[in-house]
Amino acid sequence: MALGVLALVCLSACSTIKLVYNQSDDLLYWWVDAYVDLEADQKPSTREALSALQRWHRQQQLPEYVALLQKTRSMALHDITPGQVCAVTEEMKTSFLGLLRQIEPAAARLGSQLKPPQREHMRQRYDKTNQEWRSDWLDASADKRLRYRNKQALKRLEDFYGRLDEPQREVLNHWLASSAFDPAFSYAERERRQADSLQTLQRMAESGSPNTAQGLLHAWTERAFHSPNESYRTYNQALWQENCAGFAKLHNSTTPAQRQRLAETLRGYETDLKTLIAQK
C-alpha cells in the first residue's frame, strides 16, 4: 500500500477519511513491517521516512486531489465519454507515480538493507496473499467470479449514486459479463512482478551503492507499471479502455437525482481534503 492508494481508498468512506489519513503513516509502517519483518535498527528510519512522506503528500498531492475532485464534480451532472473517464484515471495514476518517486530514495535505502531472511519473509507473505487471490479469482467458477465482481462493483457504485434500479444493474452485469478480464493472465503477471521485486531487492543488497540501489528500484517500478510482457500490456490496455467505457455507460444511465447525489458526495470529499491540507 502506498499513501496515495490509502488516500484514494478513503474516498469511499467520507466519515472516516480524516481519521484514516491522519494515521496513514502508521498504517503504512505496519504494512511494510508485515511484509519484511523490520529489524530494530530499521524501524526508526522507516517511521521517519513515512512521516516525511505524509507531510509532503498532504501539502503537494492533496491539492491535486481537490482539483481532480472539482473536475470530476463538474462532470457528474452530465453524460460523460469513455475518454473523460480514462483521463481521470490517468491523472490518478500519474499522481501515484509521483508519490513513488518521492519515497524512492528512502525505499532504496531500506531495500538495500534487507537481509535474506527478510526477503524470505516477503516471499512467504506473497505466497499467503496469492493463495487468497487464487481462492477469489482462479479456484472459483466463472459464474461465482462474476457474482463476486458484480457484488463488489455494485456496493462501490451505490455508495456514490444510491440504489441502482434493475435496468442499471443490467448495464453493470453486461459490462462485467462481457469483460476481457482473464484471471489466469492477471495472476501470471502478479507472480512476475513479485519475482521481479525479490530479485531486484537481492541485487540492491548486493550493489553496495545507494545510487545503484535507487536506480534498480526505479527500473523495477517502471516494469511494474509497464510490463515487459507485450501481450500483457495489450491485454491491460484493452481492459482499461473497456472499464472506462463500462463506467461511462453506467453513469449515463443514472437519473438526475443519482447524479446530484454523486456531485454532493464529491463535494463532501473536497471539504474533507481541504481540512486535511490545512492541518500542519
- Contact of 193 with 224, CB cutoff 8 Å: yes
Cite the DSSP H helix spans in the chain.
Answer: 3-9, 17-22, 24-36, 43-60, 62-76, 82-113, 116-137, 142-161, 166-177, 183-207, 210-225, 230-252, 256-278
Condensed to tens digits (0 to 9), the pLDDT of residues 15-55 reads 467 788 989 999 999 999 999 999 999 999 999 999 999 99
Domain count, the chain: 1
8/177: higher pLDDT? 177
Q: Percentage of the chain surpassing pLDDT 90?
A: 90
Q: Which domain holds residue 91?
A: 3-278
Query: If you search the block for the grid coordinates 507531510, which residue do you land on?
Result: 55
Cα gap 211→214, rounded to integer Å = 5
Cα gap 82→244, rounded to integer Å = 5
Condensed to tens digits (0 to 9), the pLDDT of residues 210-233 reads 999 999 999 999 999 999 999 999
- What's the Rg (C-alpha) of the chain? 20
Q: Percentage of the chain surpassing pLDDT 70?
A: 94
Cα gap 46→51, rounded to integer Å = 9
Nearest to 113 by CA among 36, 26, 168, 28: 36
Condensed to tens digits (0 to 9), the pLDDT of residues 192-214 reads 999 999 999 999 999 989 999 99
SS3 assignment, position 117 = helix
